[in-house]
Structures are given as structure tokens and as C-alpha cells.
Amino acid sequence: MYPPYEATQVLRCFLTDDPMNQYSGVTEAVVKVKYQVQGSAHRLEMHLARNKDIATKQPTNQHVSENISYYEEQISLAKSPVGPNDINLATVAEEEALSYFKKHGCASTPHLLLSDCFKVDKSIDDLAMEGGYAAFMIMTKIPGNTMRTREFWALARHKRDTVRAAFKTALIDVWNHHVYPRDTGLRNIMWDDAQEKCYIVDFEDYEVVNFEDAEAEWNDQIYSDWEISEAWGEAFRNGPWNPSKRSLEATEGAALNSSDQLSDGTKSDSSRTSPRSSLAAESKASTASKRSSITTESKSSDTSSQSSQSTDATDSQLMNPPKESPDAA
């Protein structure tokens, strides 16, 4: 996670009054609250010290000079309260995506209803950054529920195939709205069993795309990226991260104890990457040259259908990973 550091709470809310008739048809919604918290800048400070040391030996190295400026800025974001203009880029990205989905009527995602930003009160949380930001995003509540790993793999094979088909339809719909999610996993799929429909949620990390034929971009490896392929399920059932597997092996006197297996499983699981994860390794300079809002990127592709609409495009830093990944406390 990159600074400014955040804590997140997701709450369900209900409409009690709508005097201006702004929310026709909406009776309940979801509010995601993301507020700035204190975090460790230790690793950032290590990177800064290393680059300063290099600079004493290579004073004309422009790349090192840029690194120093970058890490100084990141340390400031980690240690100091920031206002609405400096909130975490992941929060900016999600707000832009949800707003875009609403404007263009994406049927497979939540839509942004309202957003605002306030100052953090220290009483919110012991780790809260007093004077920092608290961003509120109120979005439509989509039907269905997040399907847990055990629940999905407990379904009959024909039912899992139904879920996969609905997921493919939903994801291609999202691609057609110029968003390619990079935070993949079953946790970000909502399943409405009554309608046999999937929804995609959580758009803090995505790539802006403009596919001529989104369906042609599909390949079945994507099911594994989202943890719903049969091969992934087989690995889960037989792997050390399966709680039932751990219990069985402990009973049988397995060489590794359950805590060792959990540690190995977590490491193995977190090492999985999506086909496009290498994009996150782009240099800062390369990324900066490609920054734009979701509205800006898609403007050219939507011109024919939106010629009479004003485009509220704003430049924003959708993706800006540091050269090395600092950790929050």
C-alpha cells in the first residue's frame, strides 16, 4: 500500500428522505468510507537514504535526483495529514470508475450516487491521522452477495459453470466500458442467484482500455486469475491453504504443522499474478506519461454517441507505483 495510508469501512444505508427527487428508485445503498491513518515510513526512509548515498557519488545522475524528490514526497504523505487534493490514488481511481459506470449505464457494476470528503476527527480511530481526509463514496447496492471460496467450491459443477458464464458476461461488459480490473479474485465478484447474474466490484486498481472487440480479448486463463477455474479449485482443495486439508494432515501426523502450512499457503497465494500485473512494474516516468482519467481515455471512442454531451474529463494519477513497494505499518 502506498501513502497516504487509509483505513476502509463499508456500510449499508437506507434512504429516509429525498426532497429533491435525486435518487428515484433507490431505497438502499452502500457507503464506502476511506479515511487517512498513521503509517510507517521506515522503508520509504531507507529508500531515500540509499538514493542520497548514491547521489553523493553520482551528483549528476538525474534518475537518482528524481528518486530523492519522489521519496521525500511519499514520506510527507505518510506522516502528515493531507486534504482532498492529495487522497490515495486508489480512492481517486474507484470514484472515477463508479462515476463513469453511472454516466454510461454499465449493467455489471455499482454506480456512484454521491461522494464527499471531510477532515478526520481523532476520535474515529486510535490510528486516525487527525486533520487528514475522510472520503465517502455512496454507491448503488447491487443484488446478490460476495461468494466465499468455500461456498463457490461447494456448488455442483453445473452451477459453477453457470456462475463462470455469468462472470464472463459481466467482465466483458466492464471491458466494453474501458475498464480492465487488476485487483482480481473471487472476493470482487457478486453473485445474484435469483437472476443468475454476476457483478464486478472494487475498482481501486485497473487499466484503462479501448478494445475494438472485447470478447476477442477473452481467454480461459482469466477464470484462474479470478480464482474460479476448475484447475484453481483443484489446487485449492489439495493445497496447504485449504483449512480442511491442514486439519487432515495434522491428524495424520504431517511433517509440517498447521501454522507452517498457513504461512506457506499465504505466500503461495499472494505470489499469483494476473496476465497484466507486469504493467505495475512500469517506471514512474513511463507511467506518468500515460496518466489520464477514465473519461479522458474513452472520450475518442465515445465521440459519436456523446457529441452533444459535455465531457467532464480531469487529469488524475490513476496508477503511480513507486519503484520499490513500501509497506504500511
From the number of C-beta atoms within 10 Å of its C-beta (0-12, 13-18, 19+), residue 185 rates as middle
What pLDDT is recorded for position 125? 79
Percent of the chain with pLDDT over 70: 72
Give the pLDDT mean for 105-131. Answer: 90
What pLDDT is recorded for position 121? 80
Global pTM? Answer: 0.70
Judged against a pLDDT cut of 70, whether residue 204 lies above it is answered with yes
- Tell me the average pLDDT of the chain: 79
Confidence of residue 323 (pLDDT cuts 50, 70, 90): very low
Model confidence pLDDT, tens digit, residues 15-52: 999 998 888 889 999 999 999 998 888 889 999 999 99
What pLDDT is recorded for position 123? 73
Judged against a pLDDT cut of 50, whether residue 264 lies above it is answered with no
